[in-house]
């Protein structure tokens, strides 16, 4: 488990600004829940926090209970399975955090699955945290980099998902 540092978390939420207010949030590799719980504390409507590792999930559950985080829902499962589960429930999100273990290509795989499941709303923001030593993760066509920051060994890339195109 590699929690997002306080410095990085503050910067991420400074960049996101008012996008958090009223948002449905998905924290796909939640770990301790720092990003999803911070979003709730800043006015997000709800947050689904997904963590596969049993030990990390135990810490996550304790953090949610300690903070009495209303609007938090926890899922103890693999990220790709979680995306398919959320699709089957018709869940969509305006803000998604992808903070997977570094160097395994998980951000790209999760983004591809997000795209095929349609769980991100048009115009959503996807925040990817990776090692600054890694190449920029491959994202689905049309996802545009809105911001790209480095903090020592950490790189945070903000992707905007295109708005839905109107058909005539």
| Each residue's pLDDT tens digit, 19-64 | 999 999 999 999 999 999 999 999 999 999 999 999 999 999 999 9
Neighbours of 21 (CB within 10 A): 12
**CATH number for the 6-160 domain, one of 3.40.50.920, 3.20.20.100, 3.40.190.10, 3.40.50.150?**
3.40.50.150
Per-range mean pLDDT, top range of 6-10, 23-27, 149-153: 23-27
**Cα angle 125, 1, 152; round to 5:** 65
Res 153 pLDDT > 50? yes
Q: Is the pLDDT of residue 143 over 50?
A: yes
Helices 6-16 and 34-41, packing angle to 10 deg = 50
Name the nearest CA neighbour of 15 among 96, 127, 122, 161.
Answer: 127
**Which helix H or strand E contains 86, and what residues bound it?**
helix 79-88
Query: Would you state the pLDDT for residue 74?
Result: 98
> Is residue 167's pLDDT more than 60?
no
What is the reported pLDDT for 168? 47
Contact criterion met (CB below 8 Å) for 160 and 143: yes
Output the CA–CA distances (angstroms, integers) from residue 102 to 77, 140, 142, 154, in the order listed.
19, 19, 24, 10
Distance, first Cα to last Cα, the chain: 48
pTM for the model: 0.93
């Amino acid at each position: 488990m590699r929690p997002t540092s306080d410095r990085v978390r503050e910067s991420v939420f400074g960049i996101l600004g008012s996008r958090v207010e009223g948002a449905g949030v998905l924290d796909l590799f939640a770990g301790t829940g720092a990003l999803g719980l911070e979003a709730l504390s800043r006015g997000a409507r709800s947050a689904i926090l997904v963590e596969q590792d049993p030990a990390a999930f135990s810490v996550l559950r304790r953090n949610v209970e300690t903070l009495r985080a209303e609007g938090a829902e926890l899922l103890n499962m693999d990220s790709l399975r979680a995306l398919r589960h959320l699709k089957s429930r018709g869940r969509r999100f305006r803000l998604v955090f992808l903070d997977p273990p570094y160097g395994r290509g998980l951000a790209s795989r999760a983004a591809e699955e997000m795209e095929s499941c349609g769980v991100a709303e048009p115009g959503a923001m996807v925040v990817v945290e990776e090692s600054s030593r890694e190449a920029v993760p491959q994202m689905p066509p049309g996802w545009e980099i809105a911001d790209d920051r480095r903090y020592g060994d950490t790189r945070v890339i903000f992707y905007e998902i295109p708005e839905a195109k109107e058909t005539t």
